Amino acid sequence: MEYEILVRWRAFPLHPETPDEGISLDQLLGPRLDIQEIRSRLAKTAGDLGLPFRGSDTLYNSRLAQELGLWSETKNRGDAFHAAVFKAYFVDGRNISNVPILVELASSVGLSAHEAAEVLAARAFKEAVDSDWELSREKSVTAVPTFILNQDRLVGAQPYAAFQELMGKNGAKRRVHTSGIS
């Protein structure tokens, strides 16, 4: 059996000062963190889960990707767009602040490239992202991912059992499969 829960994506200001051309992780984090060790840990976790992961030496500004992500949700393609952005950055090392790349990613998941370009040019979802950023401050969110259910939260990548515990603690009902397959 599985829990049925609606996950709502929220934009988060992850290093909003990052220039569009990006910044090297070494420059951003300096000597205080062992970037190679972190990348190795992430690669191992991804490998254990059967997920592709290359990592990037550069952090790019994700603001426009967040704006286009909120737009993609209004078109019922949010999950697909978010997955495409994650792959573009974490697997392909692409610059997710680059408008042509974002338009290409939108098109790759069945969204109108023309409309995506217009949304970005008009900054049509700027206020929606600003609102999400403010909510993250109000909720004291300091890292991604953060999952909040009622007053409880999970921060960072967590095992499935941690989500089960969170759901059970908050009275989420388990979904019963009627097909006989669970």
Which residue ranges form the domains of the chain, and what is each CATH number? 10-22+60-139 (3.40.30.10)
Q: Worst-scoring range by mean pLDDT, 43-47, 93-97, 105-109? A: 43-47
Q: Is the pLDDT confidence value at 182 over 80?
A: no
Q: Is the dihedral of CA 21, 22, 26, 27 positive or negative?
A: positive
Q: What is the pLDDT of residue 176?
A: 65
* Nearest of 17, 30, 12, 36 to residue 143 by alpha carbon: 12
Mean pLDDT, the chain, whole residue set: 88
pLDDT tens digits along 56-90: 889 999 999 999 999 999 999 999 999 999 999 99
Structure tokens, 167:
């759901």
Is pLDDT larger for residue 4 or for residue 149?
149
Would the pTM of this model clear 0.85, i.e. be above it? no
User: What is the secondary structure of 76-89 as a DSSP string?
Assistant: T-HHHHHHHHHIII
Q: pLDDT band at residue 150, thresholds of 50, 70 and 90?
A: confident
Is pLDDT larger for residue 116 or for residue 181?
116
